Amino acid sequence: MAVERWAAALSGVVAACAGLGAGELTAALTGPSGAPLVAVGDHVVRATPEPVKEWAIGVFGTYDKLALQVGTAVLLAVIAAAVGVVGSRRLRYAGVAVALFTAVGVVAAVTREGSGAVDAIPSIVAGLVALAVGYGLLRRAPVAGEKPPWDPRAWDRRRFITVSGLALAGAGAGVAIGRNFGQGTAVEEARNKVALPAPASPAPPRPAGAELGVDGLTPFQTSARDFYRIDTALVPPNLLPADYRLRIHGRCANPIELSYDDLLKRPMIERDITLTCVSNEVGGELVGNARWLGVPLADLLAEVRPDAGADQLVGRSADGWTAGSPTALCVDGRDAMLAVGMNGEPLPVRHGFPVRMVVPGLYGYVSATKWLTELELTSFADFDAYWIPRGWSTPAPIKTESRIDTPRRKATAGKVAVAGVAWAQHRGIQAVELRVDDGPWLPARLSEVTSSDTWRQWVCEWDATPGEHRLTVRATDGGGVVQTEQRAPVAPDGATGLHSVTVDVS
Ligand SMILES: Nc1nc2c(c(=O)[nH]1)N[C@H]1C(S)=C(S)[C@@H](COP(=O)(O)O)O[C@H]1N2
Ligand SMILES: [Mo]
């Protein structure tokens, strides 16, 4: 009578994949904002309630985006299968479902920050292809018992599965080609061609004692590869340096607009600065230290001359994200900058290419705008940046933290080097102490650093005896304030409490 149910479900899934593949391929021509999955995902990220987002970052860490994509794919597959089954009985209903999804894609794509009418095209193409493939497969799907009601030439199972497999492969190729030959690659190519200027003020030479050289200890400088990534962008915005414009405006006497080349021509500073995410749990990994090259914010602000009441400097990204920093902190002598380089290379795309902000001592969500296209002088009374109405505090200075990197679980009895990193950006780290079980606090040896804006490695020798032991670390900042043992959650302004690990010594 009817199409076999598995075949109907498979038709739906294959149709959805073919549609999405065609959409990605089209988006390679019309621009990445229109890629249907990305456009919809972007809105989903924005609309997700805060507790859910926090939970996701907590559970998946920096894999949160991968988790979202896998989750979306599974959900879509289930829906597509259901639409296929419905379509095998009432073709019209499946058509309505595809039209609905197409409409969602179109609306999501054209309402994104910086997108236009052409961004509707990939979703429309996706919808048409899904419709065509779905209809084609359902017509030929193997039928239980009798012949299908709408076409007598149904394929046998093997043929049906082969054709479906080919269509899936085609969809995969569409996605691969779309992602690799789209505008994203143009940005990578442009990035490879950037020649960064030499800094007018280079970073101080790294002291011999910058690395304590303990196995398992986090290196002083985090490679771009290993650097944590946190942002709301499902795929990073693609900004070509040639088209790049930065507007500095708002409550100031002399608003300016700069191109990427204008920025590169300015005197640059190069500094080691440790970034930290406010979502970092005690002992967590959302912290990294890089060598940034950039234009001092103080120079730019001196040129635009902020009004007296403009106590907030808001960075806005190409995708409409915002972060607001106290204007006063950007000009108080710290190395706040618009960074164009990271570890001797142009900023990686995922870390904000071509330009991002870096303010030593402030958490990322109130300072570190990536894909920066606008700086607006305003006041805290007049404007709340992205995370503020979502329950996070401002201005949010980074709290003193310390972490044990090694050992984490097991050790052999005898001399054990317990080591880790500690940070209190812009106040610096003066001391780190280790406690074994309920013993006294033992002083750790610290690595040499040249500024208060980076983390500091520490090591403490421990005469480990067999059995289970609890190691706890605490730091003292440059002002002599000891890290609090009081536990606080990450929201609204950063976690506190001491990091401890339980080590099994044998
Ligand atoms: N455009 C944009 N910039 C952003 C964010 C964002 O969501 N969008 N997240 C901020 C947060 S919360 C942090 S912790 C830092 C992280 O920078 P990284 O990804 O380079 O490590 O970027 C900041 N800059
Ligand atoms: Mo963050």
- CB within 8 A of 249, min separation 6: which ones? 255, 256, 304, 374, 375, 376, 377
**Both ends of the chain: CA-CA distance in Å?**
69
Confidence of residue 235 (pLDDT cuts 50, 70, 90): confident
Delineate the domains of the chain, giving CATH numbers in brackets: 5-181 (no CATH), 218-390 (3.90.420.10), 401-505 (2.60.40.650)
322 lines ligand 1 (CB under 6 A): no
- CB within 8 A of 85, min separation 6: which ones? 5, 8, 9, 12
Rounded-to-integer distance, Cα 239 and Cα 245, Å: 10
Q: How far is CA 279 from the centre of its chain?
A: 12
Per-residue pLDDT of 376-395, as tens digits, reads: 999 999 999 999 998 999 98
With 90 as the cut, is the pLDDT of residue 166 above it? yes
Q: In a mutational test of the pocket of ligand 1, which residue from 229, 231, 399, 493 has the highest number of ligand atoms less than 8 Å from its CB?
A: 231
Burial bucket for residue 170 (CB in 10 Å: 0-12, 13-18, 19+): middle
pLDDT of residue 297: 98
| CB neighbour burial string for 59-97, b if at least 16 within 10 angstroms, e if fewer | eebeebbeebeeeeeeebeeebbebbbbbbeeeeebbeb
Residue % of the chain over a pLDDT of 90: 75
pLDDT of residue 10: 93
**Maximum mean pLDDT: which of 59-63, 140-144, 424-428:** 424-428
Nearest atom in ligand 1 to the alpha carbon of residue 276 is 14
271 lines ligand 1 (CB under 6 A): no
Per-residue pLDDT of 59-107, as tens digits, reads: 776 677 778 878 888 888 999 999 999 998 898 999 999 999 999 999 9
Average pLDDT value for residue range 140-159? 72
The alpha carbon of 264 and the centre of ligand 2 are apart by a number of angstroms equal to: 27
Average pLDDT value for residue range 310-338? 97
pLDDT of residue 200: 98
pLDDT of residue 61: 67
Confidence of residue 178 (pLDDT cuts 50, 70, 90): confident
Ligand 1 atom 8, closest CA: 231
pLDDT of residue 181: 74
DSSP string, 31-48: -GGG-HHHHHHHHHHHHS
The alpha carbon of 50 and the centre of ligand 2 are apart by a number of angstroms equal to: 13
227 lines ligand 1 (CB under 6 A): yes
With 90 as the cut, is the pLDDT of residue 176 above it? no
Task: Calculate helix-pair angle for 5-30, 121-140, nearest 10 degrees.
Answer: 160
Average pLDDT value for residue range 183-200? 90
Could you give the 3-state DSSP secondary structure of residue 133? helix
The alpha carbon of 355 and the centre of ligand 1 are apart by a number of angstroms equal to: 12
Nearest to 474 by CA among 434, 417, 430, 419: 434
With 60 as the cut, is the pLDDT of residue 1 above it? no
With 70 as the cut, is the pLDDT of residue 150 above it? no
Which ligand has its closest atom nearest to the C-alpha of 494?
A: 2
Nearest atom in ligand 1 to the alpha carbon of residue 237 is 1
275 lines ligand 1 (CB under 6 A): yes
The alpha carbon of 279 and the centre of ligand 1 are apart by a number of angstroms equal to: 11
Q: In this structure, how many other beta carbons lie within 10 angstroms of the beta carbon of residue 448?
A: 14
pLDDT of residue 147: 53
With 70 as the cut, is the pLDDT of residue 438 above it? yes
More confident position, 50 or 123: 123
Ligand 1 atom 19, closest CA: 229
Q: In this structure, how many other beta carbons lie within 10 angstroms of the beta carbon of residue 329?
A: 21
Q: In a mutational test of the pocket of ligand 1, which residue from 46, 230, 292, 367 has the highest number of ligand atoms less than 8 Å from its CB?
A: 230
Residue 490 gets which letter from DSSP? S
Residue 171 has which token pair? 């969809």
To the question of pTM greater than 0.75 for the whole model, the response is yes
452 φ, ψ (degrees, to nearest 5): -85, 0
pLDDT of residue 456: 98
| CB neighbour burial string for 110-146, b if at least 16 within 10 angstroms, e if fewer | bebeebeebbbbbbbbbbebbbebbbbbbbbbbbeee
Nearest to 133 by CA among 172, 105, 176, 171: 171
368 lines ligand 1 (CB under 6 A): yes
Per-residue pLDDT of 34-49, as tens digits, reads: 888 888 887 887 787 7
Residue % of the chain over a pLDDT of 70: 97
Average pLDDT value for residue range 155-165? 88
62 lines ligand 1 (CB under 6 A): no
* CA-to-CA separations, 455 to 61, 250, 275, 304, 422, in angstroms, rounded: 21, 35, 9, 33, 5
Average pLDDT value for residue range 221-247? 93
**Lowest-confidence pick of 2-11, 208-217, 265-274, 353-362:** 2-11
Nearest atom in ligand 1 to the alpha carbon of residue 357 is 24
pLDDT of residue 56: 78
Rounded-to-integer distance, Cα 104 and Cα 16, Å: 14
Confidence of residue 246 (pLDDT cuts 50, 70, 90): very high
> If you average pLDDT over every residue of the chain, what do you get?
92
Average pLDDT value for residue range 3-23? 92
Nearest to 406 by CA among 165, 205, 215: 215
pLDDT of residue 149: 52
With 90 as the cut, is the pLDDT of residue 270 above it? yes
Nearest atom in ligand 1 to the alpha carbon of residue 372 is 1
355, containing H or E segment? none
Residue 448 has which token pair? 């040499």
Ligand 1 atom 12, closest CA: 365
The alpha carbon of 358 and the centre of ligand 2 are apart by a number of angstroms equal to: 12
Could you give the 3-state DSSP secondary structure of residue 438? coil
The alpha carbon of 366 and the centre of ligand 1 are apart by a number of angstroms equal to: 9
**Lowest-confidence pick of 57-61, 185-189, 348-352, 438-442:** 57-61
Nearest atom in ligand 1 to the alpha carbon of residue 278 is 14
With 80 as the cut, is the pLDDT of residue 167 above it? yes
Average pLDDT value for residue range 143-165? 75
With 80 as the cut, is the pLDDT of residue 302 above it? yes
